[in-house]
Chains A and B, each alone.
Chain A
Amino acid sequence: MDLIAGLIQTAILAGGVLALAALGEVLAERAGVVNLGVEGLMALGAITGIAAVVAVPSPMLGFALALLVGLAVGMVFATATVIVRANQILCGLALTLMGTGVAAMIGKAYSGIPAPATFPPIAIPLLSELPLVGRALFTQNILVYLIYLVLPFCIHHLLFRTRHGLDLRAVGENPAAADAAGIPVRRIRFWYVSVGAAFAAGAGAYLTLAFVPSWSEGVVAGRGWIAVALVIFAGYRPWTAVMAALLFGLITSLGFVGQARNWPIAAPVLSMLPYLGTIALMIVPVLAWQKVRRLMAAPAALGEPYFRDVR
């Protein structure tokens, strides 16, 4: 029983990183901009978080600073992709290379040092005493509650229940029509790309302040790419993205449980699970769910810079 509870607890903790980054990417992609810089942003957030708590032992401050760094870098990326309208794919790849490189350089001094302060688990009264899943579900740190309950609810509401969300989706689907309707295309794209980048950096800080918790080069380990893949798999929907992230968290923690329980699978194969899972999740829906493909489709103008004068 402890094993199942432990599995769920680790899955939730591991999935949180992906969920937060994926939610940020949902915002950016719904507005029509592909941000492939998530991996680099997460690295920057991770090193910002650890550097901040080494200086001042407050995880909240570290997380907030990471969000700010993400927002600032995101604004640079948005300037390039939305204002200057450079190629989004290339800008994203550049951001990933730059982010991981800069983080590795700054991180040399912090390598292997455990975070002096981390987000402590908060036990919710009564619920945390439920048998079997109580501890796993309701003794988590504050970010977990935020990422799994508050944020997807807010983003879902914003996207599908408000006028502003309709504008946002319109910008992603058909910027020319949105522009004609008087929706400020560039402004919406600029800010949602920036906020999405802040989420990605926050996910990095979550990694070093709540999950690992310490910095090492390559600590992000491809999670940024997995988050990008999850968004596509989730059909650009916040709740689905969070659930997919949780599924991934489960796959990741299964690898270690498998070794602990002596499953007859080679250790390197078990460590491959998250990446194999990514590939599977990309292929299976295409084959199995032909009918819902329309629902899962990407925003029509995704990845296309919008030029008003070449309509």
Chain B
Amino acid sequence: MIDIRNLSRRRFLELGGAAGVSIGLSQAGLTGVARAAAPLPAVAEEDAVIAFGYVGPTSDEGWTWTHEQGRQAVAAAFPKAKSIFVENIPYSADASRTFRQFVEEGAHMVITNSNYGDFLYDVAKNAPETAFLHCDDRTMMDNLGVFYPSHWYPSYITGVAAGVMSKNNKLGYIASFPVPTSFTGSNAFLMGARSVKPDATLQVIVINSWFDPQASTQAARALIDNGADVLFGIMDEPGYLQVAEQRGAKAVMLNTDTRRFGPKAYVSSIMFDFRKFYVDQVRARLEGKWTPGQHLLPLADGTDRDAWGETVPTEAAKAADAAREKILGGWSPFEGEIKNSKGEVKVAAGQRMSEGDIYNWNWSIDGVSGL
């Protein structure tokens, strides 16, 4: 079943848009590429209205929940400011209506996930006094900035652990749609695994949803039947973790700590934390220093691996954490030579992929099949 709510969250369009936008992103280490716009005027805390728009329910223990933690951090840091939020904003004209309502309620800043595209741009264009922050997008305006966690680093790190733990050298990945997030996640995971098991391969199953327990569990069964013994995916629910638990396989998860649903299978999770970023952005807005930027939240400051699961052997944890330290020290695993799944060299030896290139990745590396 395709769930409309989730269908376009990180849309197909990214694929097409990726090439064009990457021009704007190609500076290395681009946390915060500023636009040449004058900052919006300062706002007193007691007058401030900060609005949050969510794609899902705050009770989802996943994507929206992590954003809600960010909102609560903002409310705690600026207790006199008013913070409002709306959940389950659909991808329809209703989204524009919701954002417009934020503006009418006097919001000085609107923070929203993810990928509302024109539904948001139309409102932002007509509300130049309101600052907008848009998750997982590539379009910026004078009052519209974008942000996303650089999930590829923890994906690589957990991939190293998966490589050590895999006995069959076969990994499985449950993808939502063929969008950059899926390519980046699966590629980074396999690159991590290949750093310890050079002949490891990764099989992808696309289920056409971000949230569909029945498809993700069936996909997990098929992957395990096919020999995969460590699973990873981009799902908002822990279905494949349960399958792994039943079948004696391992699983790396996304968003939050879900180990209670499969304590023996749980390896780790790609965790997101928007609290500090949100507080910083709101502070800049209130102080009159906010300008739109492209923010890819770095490793250990917005995204990281979760504490290792109980069955993760020490050597796997050690190898993965060594890679983590190296990345924190400035090393990048995304360096050539990198071939695509057809065997063509896409990144030459010695060349390093920019953060923007990784963010907009739209091809599979050698060893990944099914995407």
The chain A residues found within 8 Å of chain B, CB to CB, are 2-3, 5-7, 10, 14, 108-109, 111-114, 207, 211-219, 221, 252-253, 256-257, 259-262, 267-268, 271
The chain B residues found within 8 Å of chain A, CB to CB, are 1, 3, 57, 59-62, 172, 203-208, 211-215, 217-219, 221-228, 236-239, 242, 261, 369-370
Tell me the minimal C-beta distance from A59 to chain B in angstroms: 14
Distance of A51 Cα from B143 Cα, bound (Å): 45
Would B214 and A221 count as touching, CB distance under 8 A?
yes
Would A260 and B213 count as touching, CB distance under 8 A?
no
Chain B residues closer than 8 Å to A253, beta-carbon distance = 218, 221-222
Chain A residues closer than 8 Å to B226, beta-carbon distance = 3, 6, 257, 260-261
With A260-B223, A267-B206 as known contacts, state yes or no: A212 contacts B59, CB within 8 Å: no
Chain A residues closer than 8 Å to B238, beta-carbon distance = 112, 114
Q: A216-B214, A259-B222, A262-B369 are in contact. List 6 more A-B contacts (CB 8 A).
A: A2-B225, A2-B227, A111-B60, A112-B211, A260-B172, A260-B225
Would A7 and B225 count as touching, CB distance under 8 A?
yes
With A112-B237, A216-B214 as known contacts, state yes or no: A10 contacts B222, CB within 8 Å: yes
Chain B residues closer than 8 Å to A213, beta-carbon distance = 217, 242
Chain A residues closer than 8 Å to B224, beta-carbon distance = 6
Taking a contact as CB atoms closer than 8 A, the residue among A214, A221, A257, A260 that contacts B237 in the complex is A214
Distance of A132 Cα from B116 Cα, bound (Å): 50
Tell me the minimal C-beta distance from B364 to chain A in angstroms: 12
Main secondary structure of the interface of A (DSSP, over half): helix
Would A6 and B225 count as touching, CB distance under 8 A?
yes
Distance of A256 Cα from B239 Cα, bound (Å): 15
Q: Among B217, B224, B236, B238, which residue has the most Cβ atoms of chain A within 10 A?
A: B217
With A109-B59, A259-B370, A268-B208 as known contacts, state yes or no: A214 contacts B225, CB within 8 Å: no
Tell me the minimal C-beta distance from B262 to chain A in angstroms: 9
Taking a contact as CB atoms closer than 8 A, the residue among B3, B172, B261, B370 that contacts A217 in the complex is B3
With A108-B57, A114-B239, A259-B370 as known contacts, state yes or no: A219 contacts B225, CB within 8 Å: no
Chain B residues closer than 8 Å to A10, beta-carbon distance = 218, 221-222, 225
Q: Among A2, A7, A10, A257, which residue has the most Cβ atoms of chain B within 10 A?
A: A257
With A259-B370, A262-B369 as known contacts, state yes or no: A6 contacts B239, CB within 8 Å: no
Tell me the minimal C-beta distance from B360 to chain A in angstroms: 22
Chain A residues closer than 8 Å to B228, beta-carbon distance = 260
Taking a contact as CB atoms closer than 8 A, the residue among A14, A112, A271 that contacts B60 in the complex is A112
Distance of A14 Cα from B370 Cα, bound (Å): 23
With A10-B222, A212-B214 as known contacts, state yes or no: A114 contacts B242, CB within 8 Å: yes
Would A259 and B218 count as touching, CB distance under 8 A?
no
Chain B residues closer than 8 Å to A256, beta-carbon distance = 205, 218-219, 221-222
Would A14 and B218 count as touching, CB distance under 8 A?
yes
Would B222 and A214 count as touching, CB distance under 8 A?
no
Distance of A215 Cα from B239 Cα, bound (Å): 10
